[in-house]
Structure 1
Amino acid sequence: MQKVSVIFFIFTFVNNALLQGTGSGTNGNLRLCVVEGRGAYKRTFKYCPVLDKEDSGVECVLGTDRLDCLRRISKGTVDFGAFSPEDLMAAQWANIDVLVTNELRSRSKPFERSVVAVVNRRILTEERLPIRATLKNSTLCHPGADVDDLRPLSDTLSAYLEFQVLSRDCIDELSLAENRIKALADFFGSSCKAGPWVVDKNRDAQLKRQYSSLCSACGSPSCSANDRYWGSTGSLACLVEVGDVAWAELVDVKAYFGLHETTGKSLYPAADKYAFLCRDGSWQALDSAEPCVWLQRPWPVIVAKRKASEAVAKLALSLHNNTVTVDPHWRGALAALLEIRQAQPEPLQPPVTPFDYLARAKGFREAYSQTGCVPSRHITFCTTSLLEKNKCEWLSEAGSVYGIAPSIQCAMRNDTEACIEAVANGECHVVQADSNWLMKAERDHNLVPVLHEATPIVEKTHTVVAYVRPDSGINKMADLRGKRAAFPEYDGVAWHSAIRYLKSSSKLSCGGVKEYFSEICAPGISSNITDSANVFKKSCYEEGLSGEMQALKSLVEGRSDVAFISMETYNTYAAKLIPQSWASQPLSLKPVCPDNNKYCLISWSNLGHIFAPKNITAMRHQEIVNVFTKLDQLFGKHYPFHNPMFAMYGPFNHKLDVLFHNSTKNLITDESLKSHPYNRIPMNFERSLSNSTDSCQAEDLLNFGTKIQPGFLVIMVSLVVYLIS
């Protein structure tokens, strides 16, 4: 009876606390920031309505990612949420003012994981030696590193373990990733570090061939994540069968060697052959009551803003026994949204700062304060707005938490052209730009795309299609001769793609393109060419709309006969998603298909590209690829975690297409582009840049007008080398 009274008192206390207006929601409700998961982890539409229906005093707010939720809590627009210890590191670095109120444990252990080193006693001596002397040239069984928070280790935690033993090499000619791999290979003998070393598969295979000793003790030479020695239990199997030392999770060690939780006695017949190796070089028997731990990872937690921290802590305490599994009401819904994995969240009395909470775990904070190479390396990413720069800085923060090196630094210029110039002159290292910059970046600034923003949806790529009105009488490309043409911009993808096609199919000379159309509207051309015949319209578009929309509008209103625009622009128009009067009653525009092209594309290219100077070293190229493909793997749409720490391709501050395109699925290299599923689709613009072999003579260009500005002539001489395919 006393128990029932206590529980009733707690519930009453919580309800009263919620009614006092401590939250930022309606009538003082506490606002929970939730990041929607994927697949089986989708839960907001199932559980959030339950909170509203039952007058729980809690409201859901959907966040883009976990760092978005942390920012909102710090600003006071939401009150609490569930976070990982890695999120707390980011919060600490960004000086986000929040408090940790409860731990979300799944078992009765003080830490979610404790990593230990286990050795075969044959490498131990009677006299204690420094740990480097004990392990030099031994066979290491490494659990591997991957994108998973828990199993195996993150790159940051893995590096922390390694550099307890290794010296940090900083060979200038090698990437930071290769420096680390080389240090491991030079120190240990035949070993097994299974799983990916870098994200790019081609480079990963090269490194594994070059440093083959780190794969020689694995189950197979490829030492992939499918190897039987990969992961925490895999490293223990490696130790028992071929190795000298392994890092593994303490729980896995106890399970593998059959160590009894209470007595510590082992059921494994050969357990006495192994021991725990401590960081000071000493060792302990496997049945030690308190094994020496190298690294501890804290539990996930509930975080709240200061004003609401006490109310949140008491609310979490109300999620009593059996709430998670059997309560169909709002407390069960709240437990599911917080991903509570045991009967009741462990309260922290009083709530503590992220710094103080993380300091309890051995080695965890130290893992994030490791010194790098001196001088430090970084990659400066040029952005074109304050919003882009802010997103870049949060991406950098998230990458640093997961050990991505070199780090990203973020600079800002007025526009894309200024950023491209900054990369060309060495003020910045990389810039993201769409496909309209492919020709200009390479031709005028000697930049090349090192990575491409890819999408699996053809219509979402940067396509170029010739659209005409349904009553135009135009049915094939040849019918475009003598018609009025609208382009999104001069010198962009649509411009070059159409010229290439027409020159190839109609056997035109360089000067003949001008005579092909009766009028050409291409914004930006007026500053480069003088047109005595008035074929190029100088002010054919009005201000305020993008080039794609302007070209479409020109066609819809009958001022042009053909518009060279993307499928996505037309689909947006056809779906009545353009909020202007000219687009309120869409026409059924039709595409004019090039001969033998079932896709009706004049060209297609990837959504965007990361540009770097063409003359950078192979090492620097590798580092850029390593960093951005790892960011993509962690924070792109692969989502190794069911709710991401940071959404690289998601909205930022409620804005779309910030820094990267929202439709991007992943970043791919040139090598990957060659084997991409879309490789079978003809007319790829990126590939045609390197495959172009035809050229025009400078004098052929004079027919473009009676007067050509000197700068334009120089540009065009370079341009036409790439124009024809």
Structure 2
Amino acid sequence: MRNMIFLFFFVASVSAQERYRLCAPQSISDNTCYSLQRGESQVSCLRVEDSADCAIKLSRGDADFGVFTAEELLLAHQFYPTGLQLISQLRHKDKIIEEFEFQSVAVVPTTYNSVEGNFNGLQNGGLCHPGFSKAQMWNNYILKYFEKKVYGSTCRDSMTTAENEAMNLQNFFGKACRPGEWVSDNAYTTELKNKYPDLCSLCDTSSSCTYRNMDNHGHTGALDCLTSGRGKVAYVALNYVRQYFALDSPAAIIANMTASSYQFLCPNGTVQPLTTSNPCAWVKQPWSAIAVRDDRASSLLEGLKNWLKPTRSAEDWTTALRSIIQQDAVPNFFTEYTSFETYLRKGREVSFPTSSCGNTIRWCTISTLETNKCNWIAKAAVTHGIEPQISCDQTNSTFHCFHDIADHKADIITIDSNYGHLARQVFNLTTVLYTETETDRNSVVIAVVREGSSYNVSSFAALSKRTACFPEYGGIAWLSFINTARTNGVLSESCDYATIVADFLSGACTPGFRDRDHLNSSLTSSAGSTLCSLCPLENNNATCSANSSNIYYGDKGALECLKSTAGDIAFIEAKNLNAYIEQGLINASHYRVLCKNSSLALYTGFNVDDQCALSVTIDSEMVGRKSDEQDARVKLTDITLALLQIEDWLGYRTNVLRPIHVYGPFNGTKDLLFKDSTSGLESTSSTIKSVLAYKELFQHVQTCSSSATLLLTNISIILVGVLFLVQTL
């Protein structure tokens, strides 16, 4: 009996000490988490990548609570409309009486004739807009909310989404001042401003499209634009209106007769005086809030009320908890549990339009996890006002995506640089954006020989009639070898790569050479007898396969081909072997690198500098369909601008509050949609060294493609001429 009583108290004690798991993003330091978990703490840190990761962990019971901004709640609600609750909002300590974090309002003169239900009085009146700045909290959805609700959205297929927007604005407001970057590409922003100068004509400096007074992220300049009589409406933040017109001081209002000349324009078309205590706002942004699982709501509500008490003076674990949750905020606990939707609907819409100008961007994915991440990114793009919208179309492989993009069933995919040549040569795809790689994680291709062998290859010229091992036909190692061999004068300028390599070598294993996804009709099949001669027979009696059934496939396979003495040299991406080296499966000292200047490295191993490696490039890129047709160019521009906006709001931008990290892991898995080595996106005109090196690899390929296109064009012209002569005889 005593044992049973002891067991009961033991279990009760363990249960009493159960720790609640708080989502801890990277912004919370390890030291803070250690402090939180000391002593008799009832809360522990659970590391998450971002708020999306926190929402996922909350929904499946891995986490118990976390802090979410309104934007993060908005995104999480799209996936988890039930099962999670809010128990407290977190108001800034200097704005405790403010119900919302910020509110956007429209201000018009008192001479404006309001008509409930329409905004015709604004037509050709001029818009004073604060402008677009990466330094402010407002994203594109909020910055464009007023104008999109007011003007009729007409979509013209011949125009990009951004130009449709500019024309719609000009057609409705006539003139405007919209400073900053209209799109996330400086060159295209300039092009649009030059084409639609009326949208900058109300600015103090129309040539540069800026206000003289850019205080408060342009909101003060927008109010100057309104009060000077240039524009009929200003769309700005409520707090700046209060400052500008001194609305918080009754005495100042009396002295400031300007305030009586203006009024708020409401979303229903009516108006209110500036002195109203509850102005009609267009967007009311709720404060950040504490989200919890439904089954933890009751206990955490009582616990946090106690742990976050400002009167607690003891320097214990609750001090760390307050620093994590509150920072400069004060908790305002709800009297009843509140759903995400109920909380958000007090100030803004929680549902979004399902279509926009521009064709939907079809992002090709190759796994369920990748599709899930894509869906989160697509929803985040919508909540941030990024257009056109994105759909996520799942297939089962990169090559399947290549086929779908070529067949107009999909639009984009991020690929390993290893597939850059095949994407261009076989599927006629092109770069949409380059993905800048973290410098120490670039793709480095090297040529490797066995150390100490009597028949060691000591130069590229010495490779003549020798044998070689490649990870994959058409891969980046294959292309790097061909470019380097040309530079060293041992291969010709022929466009038939397979034939010139087969004629140069006596044998090779080039996995994938016989695969239809690796070849196009211009390649000669006779080269296969040489380029597949070293590949071993597989279980199904096939050979030269580009998959795991071929033990010489991939970088490890190419090195195995060299180690077995089947080949005299192997061309590999060194970083792909790091894990095998760390596990002791590969001894790097058994190999030596043949540098691109045709000399052997001084030391054994794979670590060589950029001057020795055959190529040092980015390790991935985004590709899409190549076309010179007008509608295709418009779509490509739309895709590029949307992706650059996603980079701005969900990438590595400083001080950005991103609800999901587009380059980071998702649900515990790396390299989904983008490699985790990605640090940003670069345009096709990028001058970054690793991007230039990657582009250089394809210069000869593109020359060959251009020549082939010109030849086909000339043949077509000749045939048309012959047909015409035949018809006239």
Bin of the TM-score, shorter chain as denominator length:
0.7 to 0.9
Q: Provide closer, same or farther for how the CA distance between residues 440 and 532 of structure 1 changes in structure 2, counting only shifts above 3 A.
A: closer
SS at match of 1:270: helix
Aligned to 1:77: 62
* Residues 1:46 and 2:34 are matched in the alignment: no
Aligned to 1:341: 328
Matches within 5 A, 1:328-477: 328-342=315-329, 344-361=330-347, 364-365=348-349, 368-370=351-353, 372-373=355-356, 377-457=359-439, 459-471=440-452, 474=457, 476-477=459-460
TM-score computed with the length of structure 1 as normaliser? 0.82
State how far apart, in whole Å, the 1-side matches of 2:140 and 2:125 are: 22
Aligned to 1:292: 280
State how far apart, in whole Å, the 1-side matches of 2:268 and 2:528 are: 80
Q: Provide closer, same or farther for how the CA distance between residues 508 and 442 of structure 1 changes in structure 2, counting only shifts above 3 A.
A: closer
AA aligned to 1:311 is: S
* Residues 1:590 and 2:593 are matched in the alignment: yes
State how far apart, in whole Å, the 1-side matches of 2:533 and 2:251 are: 88
Matches within 5 A, 1:219-258: 219-220=204-205, 221-223=207-209, 228=214, 230-241=217-228, 242-258=230-246
AA aligned to 1:113 is: F
* Residues 1:118 and 2:104 are matched in the alignment: no
* Residues 1:144 and 2:137 are matched in the alignment: no
Range with greater deviation from structure 2 (200-209 or 461-470) = 461-470
Aligned to 2:669: 655
AA aligned to 2:223 is: L
Q: Provide closer, same or farther for how the CA distance between residues 598 and 677 of structure 1 changes in structure 2, counting only shifts above 3 A.
A: closer
**1:28 aligns with one of 3, 18, 40:** 18
Matches within 5 A, 1:710-725: none
How big is the shift at 1:261? 5.5
SS at match of 1:247: strand
State how far apart, in whole Å, the 2-side matches of 1:339 and 1:359 are: 24
Aligned to 1:684: 696
How big is the shift at 1:217? 2.3
State how far apart, in whole Å, the 2-side matches of 1:611 and 1:637 are: 21
TM-score computed with the length of structure 2 as normaliser? 0.81
Aligned to 1:276: 264
How big is the shift at 1:30? 0.4
SS at match of 1:582: coil
String of CA shifts for 1:449-489, please: whole Å, max 9, x gaps.
212211251x4233322233454665544344454322110
Q: Provide closer, same or farther for how the CA distance between residues 688 and 639 of structure 1 changes in structure 2, counting only shifts above 3 A.
A: farther
Q: Provide closer, same or farther for how the CA distance between residues 598 and 461 of structure 1 changes in structure 2, counting only shifts above 3 A.
A: closer
Q: Provide closer, same or farther for how the CA distance between residues 264 and 563 of structure 1 changes in structure 2, counting only shifts above 3 A.
A: farther
State how far apart, in whole Å, the 1-side matches of 2:424 and 2:311 are: 61
AA aligned to 1:665 is: S
* Residues 1:630 and 2:627 are matched in the alignment: no
Aligned to 2:718: none
SS at match of 1:611: strand
Stretches of structure 2 that go unaligned for 5 or more consecutive residues are 1-11, 516-524, 537-543, 600-608, 709-729
String of CA shifts for 1:537-565, please: whole Å, max 9, x gaps.
12288657961222234445655443222
Contact persistence 1:603–1:683 (CA under 8 A)? no
Aligned to 2:555: 548
Contact persistence 2:170–2:199 (CA under 8 A)? yes
State how far apart, in whole Å, the 2-side matches of 1:152 and 1:334 are: 26
How big is the shift at 1:219? 4.0
Range with greater deviation from structure 2 (412-421 or 464-473) = 464-473
Contact persistence 2:510–2:531 (CA under 8 A)? no
Range with greater deviation from structure 2 (57-66 or 197-206) = 197-206
Aligned to 2:572: 565
Contact persistence 2:430–2:623 (CA under 8 A)? yes
Contact persistence 1:218–1:227 (CA under 8 A)? no
* Residues 1:617 and 2:624 are matched in the alignment: no
Aligned to 2:89: 103
Q: Provide closer, same or farther for how the CA distance between residues 463 and 201 of structure 1 changes in structure 2, counting only shifts above 3 A.
A: farther
**1:493 aligns with one of 473, 476, 491:** 476
Q: Provide closer, same or farther for how the CA distance between residues 200 and 262 of structure 1 changes in structure 2, counting only shifts above 3 A.
A: same
How big is the shift at 1:531? 5.2
SS at match of 1:53: coil
SS at match of 2:468: strand
**2:619 aligns with one of 607, 615, 631:** 607
Contact persistence 2:58–2:64 (CA under 8 A)? yes
State how far apart, in whole Å, the 1-side matches of 2:287 and 2:19 are: 27
* Residues 1:478 and 2:465 are matched in the alignment: no
State how far apart, in whole Å, the 2-side matches of 1:693 and 1:88 are: 49
AA aligned to 1:252 is: Y
Contact persistence 1:208–1:222 (CA under 8 A)? no
Contact persistence 1:208–1:214 (CA under 8 A)? yes
**2:509 aligns with one of 505, 516, 521:** 521
Matches within 5 A, 1:58-77: 58-77=43-62
How big is the shift at 1:31? 0.3
SS at match of 1:102: strand
Q: Provide closer, same or farther for how the CA distance between residues 495 and 77 of structure 1 changes in structure 2, counting only shifts above 3 A.
A: same
State how far apart, in whole Å, the 1-side matches of 2:253 and 2:553 are: 72
Aligned to 1:664: 678
AA aligned to 1:652 is: F
Range with greater deviation from structure 2 (157-166 or 303-312) = 157-166
Aligned to 2:717: none
AA aligned to 2:468 is: A
AA aligned to 2:409 is: E
Stretches of structure 1 that go unaligned for 5 or more consecutive residues are 1-17, 38-42, 697-725
* Residues 1:177 and 2:162 are matched in the alignment: yes
SS at match of 2:121: helix
Q: Provide closer, same or farther for how the CA distance between residues 488 and 95 of structure 1 changes in structure 2, counting only shifts above 3 A.
A: same
Aligned to 1:718: none
State how far apart, in whole Å, the 2-side matches of 1:244 and 1:225 are: 16
Give the RMSD, CA atoms, in angstroms.
3.3
Contact persistence 1:474–1:592 (CA under 8 A)? no
Contact persistence 2:506–2:530 (CA under 8 A)? no
How big is the shift at 1:200? 2.1
How big is the shift at 1:678? 4.1
Contact persistence 2:558–2:570 (CA under 8 A)? yes
State how far apart, in whole Å, the 2-side matches of 1:95 and 1:59 are: 24
Q: Provide closer, same or farther for how the CA distance between residues 222 and 690 of structure 1 changes in structure 2, counting only shifts above 3 A.
A: farther
**4+ residue runs over 6 A deviation:** 224-227, 693-696
How big is the shift at 1:515? 4.6
State how far apart, in whole Å, the 2-side matches of 1:534 and 1:686 are: 21
AA aligned to 2:620 is: G
Q: Provide closer, same or farther for how the CA distance between residues 691 and 446 of structure 1 changes in structure 2, counting only shifts above 3 A.
A: closer
State how far apart, in whole Å, the 2-side matches of 1:186 and 1:695 are: 45
How big is the shift at 1:232? 2.8
Range with greater deviation from structure 2 (63-72 or 290-299) = 290-299
